[in-house]
Amino acid sequence: MKKPLKIGLFSLGTIVLLLIALTAALPWFLKLDAVRTLTEEKATAALGRQVSIGGTGFSLWTGPKVRLENLTIAESGGFGDEPFARLGSFDLSVRFWPIFGGRIEIDHIIVNNPEVRVLRNSSGMWNYDDITARFAKTGEEKKAVQPSPAEKGASTIPISFLARDIRIVGAKIYVSDATSQRLKQGLSLEGLNVSLKDVSLDRPMEITASAGLGREKPDLNFSGTIGPVGKVPDPGKIPLDLELTIPPFDLARIPGLVGDIPLSLSGDVSFKGSVKGTMGKGLAARMDFSSSNLEFDRRPALKEAGKGAKEPPPGAGKKFEPIRPPPITVSGGINVAKGRFEKMAFTDLTATLSQKGARFNLDRMSLSAFSGRLEGSAWADLGKAPIEYGSKMKMDKVQINEAVSAFSSLGGLLFGEASSNISLSGKGTEFKDIKTSLLGNGTLELGPGRLTSANLMAGAAGAASLLGMGSDGKETKFDGMNASFSVKDGKFNFSRLGISTKGWSMKGSGAVGLDQSLALSTNITLSEPTASKIPENSPRLFPRNSRGLTIIPLKVSGTVTSPRFALDTGTMKAAAREQAKQKVQKKVEGRKEELKEKLREKLKNLF
């Protein structure tokens, strides 16, 4: 028993020593320089690009190992002198014994510091078009050659494949598209690290990855499974099931990454989410965004240029470039602790997010702003030029001056606590686009407040030549205001506009333009105490309502900041005619009664 064991151990030791000696001597027999040259020639012929390898290595210790160093692939003509791709090193380690069982088991593949440049010129040509065309031609040639039945049978012989560990370390991918305004300056994915475990053709593989945008520090992390890829991989059919996270991302970095955008951004945003599906049938993503602080302003090019401006503001003349619908459908949630859109400060913003194509929707939106609460929904279609958008909002107990000041230059004109329902839609972000495209409707209820641009009663009294009737001061204090309106052709068209005070009330209709123009027809109804102040010798005949209260019909023109008042002469003339008619009727009725009385007296005398 001892002798066979000794022989066996001696034999095993001899084999190990022979393997070590063979591993040490093999590079001399293989002539690695010849292998490197042959590899360069084959790769150059396959790609149609010059391929160079700086160094090679080979070992059989614990299994065949191959190492390539400083590999470069030349760039296509017309795209510069920098290589199309390069890598620092490529290491491949294969398990030896499983090969004899018809199974390829790779212990590891490690790709260090690969770099790839993906470029598109102004003519729409990509720097890899020649490579894809070459492979497409090869594929067509293979399809044209019909294999024999024996070859078909041979091609179905199953070869199992497994790679225990595939790693890409420190990769960089640079993309530049001269036909895209956003990608013209180039975008780089840096510090890309990818790890694949238990890679097989017939079952899902585990993946973890991280990458930075324009920097090596990770901005994106994801993990999950990919596959199975199948023995004939089709990228459009490979299943994905990934979890993604973005740590707090500084939004001020975005212009530096993608160029000029319509908004100036600051603050942070982070998200957690998942992506499932296939590229061919579409991916579905669940993304939950959050931000501790989010601030954005429209760029000067998106605002109406000031009068007398000698030069257009920076960014003017650059048209909004629609985005291409991504092959993914997104849903999720948004939670922003605090933020600001230009002059609109808000807190506690929550909403559900959905996206299909280039249209993004915010539903169940709720936020605190203007000292009140807003709820509703909003949408934007970024695939249209100009951009299209819409919103339905309910405002509860907001300060109307804060809301008006945030979106216009009319701050300081109207004060009070307001509630409103409003629906708006439009296209474009420049004033001229908004003015012509904005559509909508809504209602407004305003509690006690004041209008500082005009003393309505004083204006009415002045127009009616009722000196001394108006209250003192330049503003109007009211107990309530209400309105119903629609928006079209750059105007708020009021079907109902009402104001109530202790001494009078107003009802009217008409239009208020986005250019601040006024065209209103109103009736101011005076209370009895106020009407009693009208001089008895007043030459004017004012209409009265069914309750007998005096009405002053007014036309209001001019602008919001400088209104002009005039009597509605048509209404006044109609009122005068009506009052004259009533007087005549009274006289006629009185005369009839007088004649009837005289007739009765005569009849009495006769009998």
The set of residues, in sequence order, having a beta carbon less than 8 Å from that of 429 and lying 6+ positions away, is: 262, 298, 302, 320, 386, 387
Q: Which residue has the tokens 């993604």?
A: 244
Res 24 pLDDT > 60: no
Res 312 pLDDT > 50: no
Q: What is the pLDDT of residue 588?
A: 62
Can you tell me the distance from the alpha carbon of 362 to that of 379, in angstroms, rounded to the nearest whole number?
6
pLDDT band at 11 (very low <50, low <70, confident <90, very high): very low
Assign 10 to helix, strand or coil.
helix
Res 154 pLDDT > 50: no
Cβ atoms of 262 and 429 closer than 8 Å: yes
Q: What are phi and psi of 228, to 5 degrees?
A: -70, 150
Which range of 70-84, 127-141, 312-326 scores highest in mean pLDDT? It is 70-84
Overall average pLDDT of the 262-268 stretch? 83
Assign 272 to helix, strand or coil.
strand
The set of residues, in sequence order, having a beta carbon less than 8 Å from that of 593 and lying 6+ positions away, is: none
Q: What is the pLDDT of residue 9?
A: 35
Candidate from 395-399, 407-411, 471-475 with smallest mean pLDDT? 471-475
pLDDT band at 307 (very low <50, low <70, confident <90, very high): very low
Q: What is the pLDDT of residue 268?
A: 93
Q: What is the pLDDT of residue 131?
A: 82
Instruction: For 164-210, write each residue's pLDDT tens digit.
Output: 888 999 999 998 888 877 778 888 889 999 998 888 878 898 999 99
Which range of 6-20, 220-234, 316-330, 577-591 scores highest in mean pLDDT? It is 220-234
* DSSP code, position 157: -
Res 469 pLDDT > 80: no
pLDDT band at 55 (very low <50, low <70, confident <90, very high): confident
Higher pLDDT residue, 18 or 402?
402
Q: What is the pLDDT of residue 306?
A: 36
Amino acid type, 472: D
Nearest to residue 294, comparing CAs of 258, 346, 244?
A: 346
The set of residues, in sequence order, having a beta carbon less than 8 Å from that of 235 and lying 6+ positions away, is: 279
16 vs 8, 12, 62, 597, CA distance in Å?
12, 6, 10, 148
The set of residues, in sequence order, having a beta carbon less than 8 Å from that of 199 and lying 6+ positions away, is: 106, 161, 162, 163, 164, 166, 205
Overall average pLDDT of the 254-266 stretch? 77
What is the DSSP secondary-structure string of 536-547? TT-S----B-TT
Overall average pLDDT of the 420-438 stretch? 88
pLDDT band at 455 (very low <50, low <70, confident <90, very high): confident
The whole-chain average pLDDT of the chain stands at 80
The set of residues, in sequence order, having a beta carbon less than 8 Å from that of 507 and lying 6+ positions away, is: 496, 497, 498, 522, 523, 525
Q: What is the pLDDT of residue 449?
A: 96
Can you tell me the distance from the alpha carbon of 111 to that of 35, in angstroms, rounded to the nearest whole number?
20
What would the two tokens of residue 321 be?
């470039």
What would the two tokens of residue 35 be?
């292998």
Task: Determine if the peptide bond prior to 228 is cis (ω within 30°).
Answer: yes
Amino acid type, 221: N
310 vs 189, 301, 307, 429, 433, CA distance in Å?
41, 14, 9, 22, 22
Upper half-sphere CA count for residue 166 (Cβ side, 13 Å): 11
Give the rounded percent of residues in the chain with a pLDDT score beyond 90. Answer: 35
Amino acid type, 231: K
245 vs 171, 178, 208, 253, 546, CA distance in Å?
19, 30, 12, 18, 69
Res 314 pLDDT > 80: no
pLDDT band at 19 (very low <50, low <70, confident <90, very high): very low
Res 523 pLDDT > 50: yes
What would the two tokens of residue 297 be?
């302003």
The set of residues, in sequence order, having a beta carbon less than 8 Å from that of 68 and lying 6+ positions away, is: 39, 53, 55, 56, 57, 87, 89, 90
Instruction: For 206-251, write each residue's pLDDT tens digit.
Output: 999 999 998 889 999 999 998 888 777 777 788 999 999 999 999 8
Cβ atoms of 374 and 407 closer than 8 Å: no
Higher pLDDT residue, 595 or 399?
399
pLDDT band at 313 (very low <50, low <70, confident <90, very high): very low
Neighbours of 358 (CB within 10 A): 17
Candidate from 73-77, 108-112, 359-363, 432-436 with smallest mean pLDDT? 432-436
What would the two tokens of residue 460 be?
């009415």
Nearest to residue 504, comparing CAs of 530, 483, 465?
A: 530
Q: What is the pLDDT of residue 32?
A: 66
Cβ atoms of 499 and 456 closer than 8 Å: yes
Is pTM beyond 0.75? Reply is no
Candidate from 292-296, 297-301, 391-395 with smallest mean pLDDT? 297-301
Q: What is the pLDDT of residue 305?
A: 37
Higher pLDDT residue, 425 or 454?
425
Quick one: CA dihedral 274, 279, 284, 287, positive or negative? positive
Strands 388-399 and 282-291: unpaired
Q: What is the pLDDT of residue 107?
A: 82
Candidate from 60-74, 84-98, 302-316, 369-383 with smallest mean pLDDT? 302-316
